[in-house]
Amino acid sequence: MVDVIPSPSVIVRRGRVEELNQLEEIYRQAYRGLEEYADTTTFRIRNYLNWLYSGEPEGFFVAEVAGRVVGFVSIHAEWWDKCLGETGELHEICVHPHWRGKGVGRQLIEAAIAYARGRGRRCVSLWVGERNWHARRWYRSLGFEECGVQLGEWVRMIKPLEEAHDQ
């Protein structure tokens, strides 16, 4: 008989300010090979994590597996974009490489989108590094579109939010 070990389930919940420092390592691991799009010193990473969190703590979610945080997302729903107007700006999403491809990122982004919709936003937007091919493809698979706007090496992507069952 073959033992089947069930994979532990993923819990997505709000992040806490005292957890921010432990996210540095997840951020570093997630951006290995993509350092051109990331902060790389402890000082800058911790500043960045603090900026993400303090900008809108309610929009900061972590994914936990068996009591361990393995990824996080930050969205600011109180955001104004000169082209879009009010938008849910997805600033960051990271999943530790050991946990990639298991739907953790999808659960995080769904929580962020649900939050933005709950705040009355009609779209979610983000900037992604132009050579971050995996993320660009992943966002497209989740309904984001590249709208033709690029700022230096950053590509703008937008997902309109429909009223009810859109994800």
User: Residue 71 Cβ, how far from ligand COA at the closest point, in Å?
Assistant: 6
User: Residue 1 Cβ, how far from ligand COA at the closest point, in Å?
Assistant: 29
By the criterion CB under 6 A, which residues form the site for ligand COA?
Answer: 30-31, 34, 93-95, 100-106, 126, 128, 132, 134-135, 138, 141
The CA–CA distances, whole Å, from 26 to 34, 45, 64, 82 equal 13, 11, 12, 32
**Closer CB to ligand COA, residue 57 or residue 103?**
103
Length of the chain: 167
Rounded to whole angstroms, the Cα distance separating 93 from 30 reads 9
**Closer CB to ligand COA, residue 1 or residue 137?**
137
**Closer CB to ligand COA, residue 51 or residue 120?**
51
Q: Nearest to ligand COA by Cβ — which residue? A: 105
Rounded to whole angstroms, the Cα distance separating 79 from 113 reads 14
User: Residue 62 Cβ, how far from ligand COA at the closest point, in Å?
Assistant: 13
User: Residue 102 Cβ, how far from ligand COA at the closest point, in Å?
Assistant: 5
- All residues at 6 or more sequence positions from 108 whose CB lies less than 8 Å from its CB, including other chains: 12, 61, 63, 71, 72, 73, 93, 95
**Closer CB to ligand COA, residue 120 or residue 137?**
137
Residue 72 near residue 26, CB atoms below 8 Å: yes
